[in-house]
């Protein structure tokens, strides 16, 4: 049987510090390969598209490639106009002449890589100006174009022949929590509505997100499929000896094995870090709270308590009367760690007393699943998709109730039997989101859309 060529986008895969959507896209590429498909990945790097193959390969892997800043407005306008009429993707010859071992963790599984310089930026700007989708002609006739993010683009074959276009919409957080994201809401709503109307099918990752897509966008229920998401932690990382991980934690971060609580993820309003810090302070736990993640939009507000919760010494008499000194009390209790590579993050998760993930809204909640697979107890939110993922293998709390969160932290801190029980339940629950279960859902979905995925040899 001929292998079907499945194209996915590299929109989030190009980011230097991955997102949950990048993890999803990378995981999808690996599962499609495992199911016997050829995988093509369409990027939008500002790289050379000229005839020199070596230059195309070199500039593709150079994040500084592109036009000078003063030319960007003219370049954007030109690309927007051409994208409306349709642009040709160019093959990137990944020959091994560029050393890519350092990028292995970010690269998807692929047979072919294509690129259209500035594609995704031009598509978003163009849709904002005209409310029309851009068109991309792939160099080869694909059996399916699977967009892993709601982008205003459609893919075609090399001669303009139609290709089924399906889109993954992970969640509708910009519409459900408009105050918690930076998305331009009018453009975002226009994009997801247009996708709902013109997509051959919509994929999502939870029943909560499916309900939102149906109810908010008016998409027929039969046009939306929840495939869930698989968790994949390489065994060589997950099975590293406990003594080695403990030594890395102590030497690299000054942390004791199971001697700290952990939050990991982007620090932004949706993740509810501000309330988590407040609840942690109220819990009185002697074990530090470690917050690991890149500072995203409005992170200063989420972390405000760390910089405002000062002890003040007041001298009532004498020439120096008044507040004399400000001293931050939480420096040793709340520890901030910037973004770390996944291999180090796995160690931080494994060594935690418990993982705290009280997000206000998630389309799936991959951190909860990763922590459960690694056997780390979890406290998470009872909102949106998180109860679907956690089941009975985590402690669920109202993410708006800091008192309930504080009590949950105290309970987890004091009750070793509960921690052991959650640690045992976690891997069993995570097994429900195995690669095999995900493969079965993907195979069924693609078959309904006319694409047969043979088992890999």
Q: Please, what are the averages of pLDDT over each run of 10 residues along the chain (457 residues)?
A: 92 76 94 96 90 90 74 85 94 90 85 95 93 96 97 96 96 95 94 97 98 98 96 87 95 96 94 96 96 84 69 48 48 86 94 98 96 98 97 98 98 98 97 95 96 77
Q: 77 near 71, Cβ under 8 Å? A: no
Phi then psi for 56, rounded to 5 degrees? -65, -40
Residue 310's pLDDT is what? Answer: 46
What does the DSSP assignment read for 245-281? HHHHHHHHH---TT-SEEEES-BSGGGTHHHHHHHHH
Q: Quote the CA–CA distance of 91 and 250 in Å, as a whole number.
A: 46
**Domains in the chain, start-ordered, CATH in brackets?**
5-230+435-448 (3.40.50.2000), 235-309+325-432 (3.40.50.2000)
Contact residues for 361 (Cβ-Cβ < 8 A; gap 6+): 171, 173, 176, 177, 180, 270, 383, 384
Residue 322's pLDDT is what? Answer: 43
Q: Quote the CA–CA distance of 412 and 358 in Å, as a whole number.
A: 14
Q: 229 near 24, Cβ under 8 Å? A: yes
Contact residues for 234 (Cβ-Cβ < 8 A; gap 6+): none
Q: Quote the CA–CA distance of 112 and 94 in Å, as a whole number.
A: 8
What does the DSSP assignment read for 316-373? -SSTT-EEEEEEES-TTTEEEE----HHHHHHHHHT-SEEEE--S--SS-HHHHHHHH
pTM to 2 decimals?
0.90
Query: Distances from the Cα of 144 to the Cαs of 92, 298, 387, in angstroms?
Result: 20, 38, 32
Query: What number of residues does the chain have?
Result: 457
What residues does 162 pair with on adjacent strands? 156
Residue 326's pLDDT is what? Answer: 41
What residues does 326 pair with on adjacent strands? 312
What residues does 224 pair with on adjacent strands? 202
**Cβ atoms within 10 Å of 203's Cβ, excluding its own:** 23
């Amino acid at each position: 049987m001929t292998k079907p060529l499945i194209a996915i986008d590299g929109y989030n895969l190009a980011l230097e510090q991955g997102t949950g959507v990048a993890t999803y896209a990378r995981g999808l590429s690996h599962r499609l390969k495992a199911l016997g498909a050829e995988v093509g990945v369409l990027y939008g790097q500002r790289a050379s598209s000229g005839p020199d193959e070596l230059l195309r390969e070199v500039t593709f892997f150079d994040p500084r490639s592109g036009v000078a800043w003063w030319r960007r407005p003219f370049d954007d306008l030109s690309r927007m106009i051409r994208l409306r009429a349709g642009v040709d993707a160019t093959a990137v010859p990944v020959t091994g002449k560029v050393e890519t071992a350092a990028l292995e963790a970010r690269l998807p599984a692929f047979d072919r890589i294509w690129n259209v310089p500035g594609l995704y930026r031009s598509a978003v700007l163009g849709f904002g100006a005209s409310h029309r989708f851009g068109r991309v002609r792939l160099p080869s006739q694909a059996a399916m174009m699977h967009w892993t993010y709601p982008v205003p683009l459609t893919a075609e074959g090399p001669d303009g022949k139609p290709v089924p276009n399906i889109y993954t919409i992970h969640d509708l957080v910009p519409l459900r929590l408009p105050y918690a994201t930076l998305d331009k809401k009018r453009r975002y709503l226009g994009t997801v509505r247009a996708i709902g109307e013109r997509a051959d099918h919509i994929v999502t990752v939870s029943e909560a997100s499916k309900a939102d897509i149906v109810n908010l966008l008016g998409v027929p229920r039969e046009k939306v499929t929840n495939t869930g998401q698989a968790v994949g932690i390489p065994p060589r990382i997950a099975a590293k000896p406990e003594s080695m991980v403990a030594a890395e934690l102590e030497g690299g971060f000054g942390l004791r094995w199971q001697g700290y609580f952990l939050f990991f993820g982007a620090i932004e309003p949706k993740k509810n870090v501000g309330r988590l810090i407040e609840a942690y302070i109220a819990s009185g736990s002697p074990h530090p709270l470690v917050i690991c993640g890149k500072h995203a939009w409005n992170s200063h507000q989420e972390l405000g308590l760390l910089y405002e919760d000062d002890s003040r010494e007041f001298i009532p008499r004498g020439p120096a009367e008044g507040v004399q000194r400000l001293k931050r009390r939480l420096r040793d209790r709340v520890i901030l760690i910037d973004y770390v590579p996944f291999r180090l993050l796995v160690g931080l998760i494994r060594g935690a007393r418990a993982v705290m993930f009280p997000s206000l809204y998630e389309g799936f909640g991959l951190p909860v699943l990763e922590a459960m697979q690694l056997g780390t107890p979890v406290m998470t939110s009872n909102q949106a998709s998180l109860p679907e993922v956690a089941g009975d293998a985590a402690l669920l709390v109202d993410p708006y109730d800091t008192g309930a969160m504080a009590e949950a932290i105290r309970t987890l801190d004091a009750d070793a039997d509960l921690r052991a029980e959650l640690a045992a339940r976690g891997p069993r629950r995570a097994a429900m989101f195995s690669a095999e279960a995900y493969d079965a859902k993907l195979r069924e979905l693609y078959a309904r859309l006319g694409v047969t995925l043979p088992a890999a040899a």
